[in-house]
Amino acid sequence: MKKIVYVFLFSITLTLIFNINNTLAEERAEYTLIEEYEEDITGDRIKETIKLYGIYLSSDSDFYRDIYAVIETKNNQKWEINYIGGYDPKLEFIDVTQNGINDILFQSATGRSNELYNYTLHTIQHNELTELELPSQSVSGAFINDFQAELYITSNTKPIIMDLKERAEEYIRLGIYNEHGNLPKRTSLMIDSIAFFEPLLISKSKGYGLKSYQQINGIDHDDPLGTIETLWYYENDDWIILQTDWKQAGE
């Protein structure tokens, strides 16, 4: 009796696996090829084939709801990476980990305005595909009295002070300040996440780093105060800051 039960359960398991594989294959068949690349990303001096696929949200949309990449080597090794959806997806191949092997930087826009992007960074070392955490920094800010704002960035010891007197009338109307420039209550600035990464050559000896752009707003996204531009460098398995600049809106 037990033998019959085991055979029955094994048969069900095989059927489920078969059905799941068929379903995945059918779903993958609906994906279209976005771009095909030939790059050496394993360090063996032989170019791998990397194919980027996506499936649109609907027949009349240019937003990809799902995206994935397939990496194949000449000796039939294969990796697959699933990405978050977006507009205009692309891959860049550049050595930002300073190990002599090109890494894979994925980018897709979250909206048609192309102001905010999704990013994912992968590397292949010793035949293992690894996702690397992208750099980030702690930023905080708030309105302060006399129509000013202060912004704290982890890499800076002193706050950045912004003069907001040009916006005084609007801030008074919205209740952020009273007519004397005082705050009825503490109000934080709107801090966006990093919107954009740009690979940047530091020097021939140091190689490439990443430059990030992070927008700081007053009351909402229609009230931009400026952008934090930070140059990052990957060293000893961690991101370090080489330089941080504050670019006030309108400069």
Is 25 a residue whose pLDDT tops 50? no
pLDDT in tens, 167-194: 999 999 999 999 999 999 999 999 999 9
Above pLDDT 90, what percent of the chain? 79
Residue with tokens 């780093």: 209
Partners of 69 in the beta sheet? 52, 81
E-strand stretches of 126-237: 128-132, 139-144, 148-153, 160-163, 190-203, 207-217, 224-235
Q: Which tokens in the block code for residue 92? A: 């860049």
Give how far Cα 139 sits from Cα of 151, 164, 235, Å.
Answer: 7, 19, 22
Three-class SS of residue 200? Answer: strand
Residue 95 structure tokens: 């050595």
What pLDDT, on the 0 to 100 scale, is given for residue 28? 61
- Residue ranges per structural domain of the chain: 1-30, 31-132, 139-248
- 70-110 pLDDT, tens digit each: 999 999 999 999 999 999 999 999 999 999 999 999 999 99
CA proximity to 119, closest of 66, 52, 197: 197
pLDDT at 165: 96
Q: CA 165, CA 58: separation in Å to the nearest integer?
A: 47
